[in-house]
Amino acid sequence: MSYNPAKIEKKWQKAWEKTGIYLAPDKVKGKKNFYHLVMLPYTSGDLHIGHWYNFAPADVYARFKRMQGFNVMSPIGFDAFGLPAENAAIKNRIHPKTWTYKNIKKMKKQLRLIGAVYDWSREIITSEPNYYKWTQWMFLQLYKKGLAYRAKVPANWCPSCKTVLANEQVVEGKCERCESEVFQKEIEQWLFKITESAEDLLENLEELDWPENTKTMQRNWIGKSLGWEVKFKAKGLNFSSEIPVFTTRTDTLFGATYLVLAPEHKFIADNLSFITNQRTLKKYIEESKKKTERERISEVKEKTGIEVRGIKAINPVNNREIPIFVADYVLMNYGTGAIMSVPAHDQRDYDFAKKYNLPIIKVVKPKNGSGVSDKAYEGEGVLMNSGRFIGMKSSEAKERIGEWLSQKGLDKKKVYYKLRDWTISRQRYWGAPIPMVFCQKCGWQPVKERDLPVLLPKIKDFRPTTDGKSPLAKSKKFLETFCPKCNGPAKRETDTMDTFVCSSWYYLRYTDSSNEKIFASKQKIKTWLPVNMYIGGSEHIVLHLLYSRFFTRALKDFGYLSFKEPFLTLRHQGIILGSDGQKMSKSKGNIIDPDIQVRKYGSDVIRMYLCFMGPYNQGGPWNIKGIGGVVRFLKRVSGQKSKIRSDESASSNSKENPAFKKLIHQTIKKVKEDIEGFRFNTAISSLMILINAIDKEKEISVINYKILLRLLSPFAPHLTEQLWQEIKPDKLKLKEFKPKDSIHNQPWPEYNPKLITKKQIYLIIQINGRVRDKIEVKVPLNRKIAEELAFSSQKVGKWIKGKKVKRVIFVPGKLINIVI
């Protein structure tokens, strides 16, 4: 009954590696390929128990698929470039590369402890030249097709990290990393035109087997809005122009009592000479530029603005003159940067109108005609004060008013998305250099493909500069080059790429990770992709998944891929919190080191405990309290060996207790279905039920014992391998161990559906929906017999005595309910 995980786990990890049993060949006769992928881990250094939670249950699934007869590829690698590496390196005064590779070494050691089916031969590291060569190549393809472009864009500028941040890296107006306040700054940057795919990225979500809320979040992020772009004439002394505004509420046009422009709106600068209050206006615009994101957000309730004097707008539906304002609650980078304001039916407009004493005209009557309030009514209803549209429903009026103006050439249907183009420039050292060269004569030129990779030079001073340029600009050797077009002197782009670029295509590289000619051969892509099962944290719902989908689409359009969705099925794991219920972090000192846990309990126990804790996508606080149950369970499993019936003839199996046999088959079914549904916790509990039953048996046949081991093997691969080898007649010689002998190359047990159909059940007898009796009966059972049985029950008699039976409900195979 001894169970010594330290000994057997190391032994089997070595044996598996030596025999390469988890290497996935591109083709295996008679087997279908299955690409099982966990999200590329970032090289942050120590793995904590949260990483295990990502990898260990995911490995259960991979092992299960293997046993089901698939040729499973489960690759692993490292997302090695990135800002955190630099920050940590600066802090510890070592080079980011040294820091990163030290971490990789440690993580590899830790990952091996899991005992997963990783195919290490396919390993990738995104900071290796043979990888980022292809990241750069991807950039060039996007550039060639006009999907990568350079533009001056207002960027989120972190004054402390001295770099531009993606919108997503700004949390509540603060830098995600260092929590400094983020400013808006206009900088020339490289962008990817992800907005061009917005519609397609949205539409295709339907078809994916992804968690529904993940899809919803992507949908919201893309943020499609259907509406109309309406032209408002602008008039002043000797002046006439037009201001287009975007609205989804054409039904409220009659209530538009002023226009509001974003401070950055070109209209102001273009027509400054016609404006009579130039100075105050300019001052306001300057001030709003200086505001940080955070300040703007904190003023959500307190709106500020200033009127543009000397120019009025004309409301196209009634030709009324209305004032124009500039206010920073209107954003330049959405819609047209100008809005029509309908204070009666938009809360923001209402707040603004109240503050500046502007007219509020109600044009939509609420359906249930609720009374007057000091709030805007934003719902739909019936139109009022709207000329010939009075009495029309909002939904209809939206179209009618839109069409009416359209006939007069005053508006057009328009779709806007919240999604913005992806700024990929980073003014940082530790990333893949952007393969572009600037020549005074020829302008920006792409590096020739044959000259890739543009190597990241090893420089000593990699710290960010205060002028906002990449540290690479300090390296003359790197900076000065020749123009790929005219061969004259030229300068390299010194910005590096956002790490999300690196991780947007890595799943392709695993199929062919050492290919020097192409990122992956067509043949290999065809055999493996798209990914069959993708597992990772929900923190990547918006960015990584969207970017990967964008890349896949682009590569398909360029003719390299034949599919546009990279991940057909997606599952998330939850987050493991510290025992204090807080997110694990070094500063809180609540990090659980898996190495210590493994040393104490063994990998199998930790794997199983993580699976058993609760639903996989839920996560929760790490709490060691219940781990003893798993330890006891595995001990009991190894203890069952002594019960194996020596006589192994066919008749021996038939000696088995039929109820027990039935349980075995039920368990096979349950474990299979639970693993398929990522319900690892209930799969384990059904195995525990089986063990409890085996305990009550005096003997167990080899056949059933083998079934037990195979059902358990995805969860506890080491122990089950050991026990599997021990039941062999000849004593195991490790040197002679061959992959085909391994339990992990055995087929998943099949259950016999006939054995698990229920012949007898407890018929539940309810009175008014409350259980009053249970009778063991044979099934199938018809209504008449059920009623007879129910009414002859003594307990029932007691309840219905002297009462009138109103109704009897019979649910075949389940219950009978007597209503009195």
Phi-psi region of 651 (alpha: psi -120 to 50; beta: other; left: phi over 0): alpha
User: Is 118 in contact with 72 (CB distance < 8 Å)?
Assistant: no
Cβ count within 10 A of residue 135: 28
Least separation in angstroms between residue 799's CB and RNA is 7
Least separation in angstroms between residue 742's CB and RNA is 27
Element spanning 322, H or E: strand 320-327
Q: Tell me the one-letter amino acid at 298.
A: S
User: Is 255 in contact with 345 (CB distance < 8 Å)?
Assistant: yes
Continuous H helices in 249-313: 266-270, 278-290, 293-298
Q: Tell me the one-letter amino acid at 282.
A: K
Cβ count within 10 A of residue 770: 9
Q: DSSP labels for 295-351?
A: HHHHTSSS--EEEEEEEEEEETTTTEEEEEEEETTS-TTSTTSEEEE-GGG-HHHHH
212 vs 516, beta carbon nearer RNA: 212
Longest CA span, the chain:
108
Distance CA 306, CA 299 (A): 16
Least separation in angstroms between residue 250's CB and RNA is 9
Phi-psi region of 479 (alpha: psi -120 to 50; beta: other; left: phi over 0): alpha
Least separation in angstroms between residue 13's CB and RNA is 25
Least separation in angstroms between residue 630's CB and RNA is 7
Distance CA 59, CA 510 (A): 17
207 vs 776, beta carbon nearer RNA: 776
Least separation in angstroms between residue 820's CB and RNA is 9
Half-sphere exposure of 291 (CA within 13 A, CB side): 18
79 vs 351, beta carbon nearer RNA: 351
Taking CA atoms, 12 is separated from 109, 218, 471, 737, in Å, by: 15, 43, 47, 10
442 vs 777, beta carbon nearer RNA: 777
Half-sphere exposure of 791 (CA within 13 A, CB side): 13
Least separation in angstroms between residue 743's CB and RNA is 23
> Cβ-count burial of 505 within 10 angstroms (0-12 exposed, 13-18 middle, 19+ buried)?
buried
Cross-strand bridge partners of residue 443: 439
Least separation in angstroms between residue 819's CB and RNA is 5
Cβ count within 10 A of residue 371: 5
Q: Tell me the one-letter amino acid at 252.
A: T
Q: DSSP labels for 233-267?
A: EEEETTEEEEEEEEES-GGGGGG--EEEE-TT-HH
15 vs 610, beta carbon nearer RNA: 610
Least separation in angstroms between residue 675's CB and RNA is 12
Least separation in angstroms between residue 804's CB and RNA is 14
Least separation in angstroms between residue 300's CB and RNA is 5
101 vs 810, beta carbon nearer RNA: 810
For residue 699, what is the DSSP state?
-
Q: Tell me the one-letter amino acid at 611.
A: C
Distance CA 113, CA 6 (A): 11
Least separation in angstroms between residue 729's CB and RNA is 28
Least separation in angstroms between residue 206's CB and RNA is 16
Q: Tell me the one-letter amino acid at 258.
A: Y
User: Is 717 in contact with 113 (CB distance < 8 Å)?
Assistant: no
As a whole number of Å, the end-to-end CA separation of the chain is 57
Q: Which of 657, 661, 608, 611 is nearest to 636 (CA)?
A: 608
Residue that has been written with the tokens 């970032």 in this structure: 42
Least separation in angstroms between residue 685's CB and RNA is 4
Least separation in angstroms between residue 719's CB and RNA is 15
For the record, the structure tokens of 297 come out as 């957000």
436 vs 584, beta carbon nearer RNA: 584
Distance CA 24, CA 69 (A): 13
Strands 32-38 and 533-537: parallel
15 vs 419, beta carbon nearer RNA: 419
24 vs 376, beta carbon nearer RNA: 376
Cross-strand bridge partners of residue 244: 231
Least separation in angstroms between residue 692's CB and RNA is 5
Residue that has been written with the tokens 């698929």 in this structure: 65
For the record, the structure tokens of 754 come out as 């006939």
